[in-house]
Chain A
Amino acid sequence: MRRRPNHLAGVGSVVWLFLVGLPLYVMLVATVQPQSEYTQNGPLSFPHSFTSDNYTGAFGSGFGQYFLNTVVVTVCVVGLVLLLVPPLAFAIIRSRSRITSQVFRLFLLGLAIPAQAVIVPMFYLISKAGLYDNLLGVILPTAAFCLPMSALVLSGAMRDISPELFEAMAMDGATPRRMFFQLVVPLSKGGLSTVVVFSALQAWNGFLFPLVLTQSDSTKVITLGLYNFQTEHGINIPGLLAAVVLSMVPVLLVYLFARRALIQGLMGVGGK
């Protein structure tokens, strides 16, 4: 059906494009000019000379290490989630035991727990466990807070598997184990990739747990590095913005190559 163009929405969309595009443009332009020039001319002027000093400087001030720490945290969180959630989701959709449905309720309740609410006891728990200032102390709570949404997404994906397939396998006398590896896992790849992207984003962008559970440079993740850089060298804006750009490169790459999975993963993030 042909509809006439909606001018109001069109204007609004251009305004929004400007609001989103301008800061991103200013950020990119700032990172490629010398600090002195940025300080003198301000963010809105076009750069006269170009440099890569800001990016090399960011790596020099420890961002290489922070980057590595964040990769370790992200890989471990995704690994933990992938280890824990598929069997859980399988039990949620196929188990006949009453306790499993109670467990599902518990995870749904968990969707509503904000991380901010638990940082005080989490600090207590992690420091009593001797994991303070240890990457493992960041990995464990981060993974735990990925579980509710991951369980919801994955059990949703598994429910789409036709019941006839389960029955056919049951007729052949398949054990739950065989069903899980030969039927459930291969047929829920879409859900699994959403879960991977969602938990990777949570881990990569996580700030609160690293902020209160780590302190030294050797355990710093990239978001915390940004925060520290800002409080210590807030005046070096091009260097700071270069670090911001570096922190988003991996996410941007995923955005370019796996947009659908990323958007679905983002929808799980729930506006945090």
Chain B
Amino acid sequence: MTTETTSAPPAVGTRKAARRRSEGSYAAHVGRPGFAWALPATVFFVIFAIAPLVMVAVLSFMSWNGLGSPRFVGMDNWNRVLDDPVMIKSIWLTLLVTVLGVVIQTPLSILLGVWAAGQQRNRAVLSVIYFVPLLLSSTAVSVLWRALLDPNFGIPAQATWLFGDGNLFGKQASAIGVLAFVSTWQFTPFHTLIYQGAARAIPQVLYQAAEIDGAGRCRQFFHITLPQLRNSIITSMILMIVGGLTTFETVLILTQGGPGADTTISAYYMYQKAFKSFDFGAGAAIALVLVVAATIISLIVVRVSGYDKMRSSMEGLS
């Protein structure tokens, strides 16, 4: 993997030759599993993941109400979806929620991760509590916060000096604030773990050298820690972007897309279209928009950062 980019043509040649030699040897042939070993998992995966992904594209050109057989309708779903003001609004809301997630969670999880990477005893104890939100399902997190922020019986009703009328779900700005806050609460521990692992892997000698040169903590952070975390920042950002674009449970349970359609983000709108209005064709079209958007944005992040020319994407995850 690591030598791939630097190897000149002659090196490739010798490697091929080496492989041919080893293929010729007796041991290289014996005990090699054939493709049959991978077949069951592959078939299963194609049926339940790849085929649906292809079908979502096909269904976006069909009309289906959940019963009977889908019927081909050409661009009809697409025309309706792209003309739908709620859909256009949902795209902006999705982008807003995604950007908010990245902007809030990235600095927070870098700071917490770098802090948690230390070896002091109290950090280990505190980290145990820090990571508890990770154990809860998205559903449990959303249900918990819905209860805690209940307009009548929740914390806002008790702390009106801070929350005004106490109904955080009644206005668009505060409802989006709630969504961003709950995602932060839920996902920051995960990204903190990524940065904790990566920060532990930074060679101490870099800090020792910086200390000798008289660099302060701030300069060390910006000139050693951050550049060394580069790969993890990209990994974590891609996960945040894909997660943000597909935000669903939090909206379904916390705001039901409201007030009005003010927090109806695309994934939730897709669910409404398909499973509440039984317009599965439109649902499929929205789903396809989401997949394409997530893929394009991830590819852009990877390209812009030059990540594709670097090491394994699992770097810093262990």
Interface residues in chain A, defined as those with a beta carbon under 8 Å from any beta carbon in chain B: 1, 6, 9-10, 12-13, 16-17, 19-21, 23-24, 26-27, 30, 38-39, 42-45, 80, 83-85, 87-88, 90-92, 94-97, 99-100, 103, 106-107, 110, 112-125, 127, 140-141, 143-145, 147-148, 151-152, 156, 166-167, 169-171, 173-176, 178-180, 204-208, 212, 223-224, 226-227, 229-230, 234-235, 237, 240-241, 244, 247-248, 251-252, 255, 263-264, 266-267, 269-272
Does B34 contact A103, Cβ atoms closer than 8 Å? no
Q: Cβ of B233 < 8 Å from any Cβ of A?
A: no
Scan residues 282-296 of chain B and give those whose CB is less than 8 A from a CB of chain A.
Answer: 283-284, 287-288, 290-291, 294-295
- Find chain B residues with CB under 8 A from A235 CB: 153
A168 to chain B, nearest CB (A): 9
A97 to chain B: closest residue by CB? B35
- Find chain A residues with CB under 8 A from B145 CB: 23
Q: Which of B52, B143, B154, B189 contacts A118 (CB 8 A)?
A: B52
Does B155 contact A43, Cβ atoms closer than 8 Å? yes
Contacts A125-B51, A171-B27, A212-B275 given: A100-B130 contact, CB under 8 Å?
no
Contacts A167-B27, A270-B239 given: A20-B137 contact, CB under 8 Å?
no
CA of A267 to CA of B147, assembled, Å: 28
Scan residues 107-165 of chain B and give those whose CB is less than 8 A from a CB of chain A.
Answer: 108, 111-112, 114-116, 123, 126, 129-140, 143-148, 150, 153-155, 157-159
B147 to chain A: closest residue by CB? A237
Q: Which of B47, B194, B204 contacts A1 (CB 8 A)?
A: B204
Q: Which of A125, A180, A244, A269 contacts B144 (CB 8 A)?
A: A244
Does A180 contact B317, Cβ atoms closer than 8 Å? no
A247 to chain B, nearest CB (A): 6
Does B129 contact A97, Cβ atoms closer than 8 Å? no
Q: Cβ of B42 < 8 Å from any Cβ of A?
A: yes
Q: Cβ of B49 < 8 Å from any Cβ of A?
A: yes
CA of A156 to CA of B315, assembled, Å: 12
- Find chain A residues with CB under 8 A from B59 CB: 120-121, 124
Q: Which of A1, A45, A117, A263 contacts B287 (CB 8 A)?
A: A117
A168 to chain B: closest residue by CB? B27
A85 to chain B, nearest CB (A): 6
Q: 13 A-B residue contacts at CB 8 Å?
A: A20-B132, A42-B155, A43-B148, A117-B246, A124-B64, A141-B48, A143-B44, A179-B31, A205-B140, A240-B147, A263-B131, A266-B134, A271-B190
- Find chain B residues with CB under 8 A from A95 CB: 32-35, 37-38
B135 to chain A: closest residue by CB? A251
Q: Cβ of B87 < 8 Å from any Cβ of A?
A: no
Does A271 contact B187, Cβ atoms closer than 8 Å? yes
Does A16 contact B148, Cβ atoms closer than 8 Å? no
Does A241 contact B144, Cβ atoms closer than 8 Å? yes
Does A88 contact B41, Cβ atoms closer than 8 Å? yes
Q: Cβ of B240 < 8 Å from any Cβ of A?
A: yes
- Find chain B residues with CB under 8 A from A208 CB: 248-249
- Find chain A residues with CB under 8 A from B126 CB: 13, 17
Q: Which of B115, B208, B314 contacts A156 (CB 8 A)?
A: B314
- Find chain A residues with CB under 8 A from B134 CB: 266
- Find chain B residues with CB under 8 A from A229 CB: 143
Contacts A1-B204, A110-B49, A145-B49 given: A117-B35 contact, CB under 8 Å?
no
0 or 1 for each of B172-195: is its CB under 8 Å from A? (1 = yes): 000000000000010111110110
Does A106 contact B27, Cβ atoms closer than 8 Å? no
Q: Which of B137, B245, B287 contacts A223 (CB 8 A)?
A: B137
- Find chain A residues with CB under 8 A from B8 CB: none
- Find chain B residues with CB under 8 A from A27 CB: 144, 148
Does B253 contact A144, Cβ atoms closer than 8 Å? no
Does A20 contact B284, Cβ atoms closer than 8 Å? no
- Find chain B residues with CB under 8 A from A106 CB: 42, 45-46, 50
0 or 1 for each of B252-265: is its CB under 8 Å from A? (1 = yes): 11000000000000
Does A16 contact B42, Cβ atoms closer than 8 Å? no
Does A118 contact B287, Cβ atoms closer than 8 Å? yes
- Find chain A residues with CB under 8 A from B294 CB: 112, 114, 117
- Find chain A residues with CB under 8 A from B291 CB: 113-114, 117
CA of A148 to CA of B188, assembled, Å: 24
B58 to chain A, nearest CB (A): 8
- Find chain B residues with CB under 8 A from A10 CB: 115
0 or 1 for each of B37-81: is its CB under 8 Å from A? (1 = yes): 110111011111111110110010000101000100000000000
Residue among A20, A145, A152, A234 facing the most chain B CB atoms (10 A cut-off) = A20
A230 to chain B: closest residue by CB? B143
CA of A83 to CA of B32, assembled, Å: 20
Does A91 contact B35, Cβ atoms closer than 8 Å? yes
Q: Cβ of B298 < 8 Å from any Cβ of A?
A: yes
CA of A179 to CA of B32, assembled, Å: 9
* Selected interface stretch from B10-18, B266-274, B303-311: B266-274
